[in-house]
Amino acid sequence: MPTIFERIIAREIPAKIEHEDEHCIVFHDIQPQAPTHLLIVPKRVIPRVGEAVAEDQALLGHLLLTAGVVARKLGLERGFRLVINNGPDGCESVPHLHVHLLAKRQLQWPPG
């Protein structure tokens, strides 16, 4: 069964898309944890970062570079945070690797 992200990529479920290219899609989270909360999702399914392999290296790098592109586009010069959840204790809710981009509020440290 396809994940919700696969269904968004296939345009079966609507999303507010901020960016898309041949490797990934970036859209607004439907349960935002900050005024700006985007998800950067690879189009090729990698269940979680802990299952990534050497062949995924370029795609993983592309996700981080895309975060920078989107942050510049949105004027997030004051800063932002990137988060990748992995597994149940990491609060992973969808088994399709994705990067959270959170911004436009003072984030706390340590997180969680």
Alpha helix segments (H runs only) across 1-112: 4-9, 57-73
C-alpha–C-alpha distance, residues 67 and 42, integer Å: 12
Catalytic residue among 23, 28, 62, 98: 98
100 carries an active-site annotation: no
Half-sphere exposure of 51 toward its Cβ, with a 13 Å CA cutoff?
Answer: 11
The set of catalytic residues is 98
